[in-house]
Copies of this chain bind each other. A is one copy, B any other.
């Protein structure tokens, strides 16, 4: 398998990505190759030591990206204005089968745009989505999706998030028949805003996954569900609220094994679920450990043929 990495994506790139690769030696099992996409001049100039080290590795190759994306570039215009950026080249390599998975911690919006315009949504998937991880008090964790790319959704989109999340938990984390819950403001079916009520009505009778009803805010950290479905607005607010809590836990110098798991580094990134090729999106502030965990996740996604499984599910039932 050939794993492509955007060396220039993320607040601490390219150094954090390069160091993450160095941490990933154990993941470089036979057959695993890395294709590193970045501005070679910039890397040589700033990180020549580590660049030369990596050049020596037989299963690592570099692709030069002449364009560099800056904060002032609009995520939606990168493809027309910076076609030789690492982000655009990565998606083109993925789309032309020169890499099998693409990892990037650049702007999430730009990663979504890239994914949708190159490898495209799987037929039948209304809105590709991203997820995040919430550690459970009892051990293991929940996933929540969407967490920011689909702010305005319809009930059928929420319904599909349940299916996408369910497949992810089963294939990537080995949870048989994952419990799918709908994030809501009460436990009864008639609770919530109009969208949640309509989504509940679609979910409650499905045989496509194991719907367990509404999940309230205080259930997010407990074993009431494995997959928690919500719109990208609510999901993003929840995610960032918990980032705020984690910042305070650190500022207050609280050492606790449970809250330690709120450190996103442990999870690396999120796959974009519902597109035709595997893509892993990292957090903007990704560290070397986060990049190592993204490489690990990319391998698991490929080994378990996650994309193929989702394609099969959706092409066999276009009209869900």
Contacts and interface: CB of A to CB of B under 8 A. Distances in A.
Interface stretch (A43-51, A120-128, A235-243, A264-272): A235-243
A117 interface: no
Interface stretch (A7-15, A211-219, A275-283, A289-297): A211-219
B248 A221 contact: yes
A244 B258 contact: no
A32 to B, nearest CB: 36
Interface of A is mostly: helix
21 contacts: A137-B251, A148-B185, A151-B192, A151-B194, A152-B194, A185-B232, A192-B233, A193-B231, A196-B233, A216-B237, A217-B237, A218-B241, A218-B247, A221-B248, A234-B234, A238-B238, A245-B245, A248-B259, A252-B258, A252-B259, A254-B256
B258 A248 contact: yes
Q: How many chain copies does the complex carry?
A: 2
A192 B183 CA distance: 19
Interface centre among A231, A233, A243, A258 (most CB of B within 10 A): A233
A77 to B, nearest CB: 14
Chain A: number of interface residues, binned into ranges: 35 or more
A88 to B, nearest CB: 23
A220 interface: yes
Interface in A168-209: 183, 185, 192-194, 196
B217 A240 contact: yes
Contacts of A248: 137, 221, 258-259
Contacts of A216: 237, 240
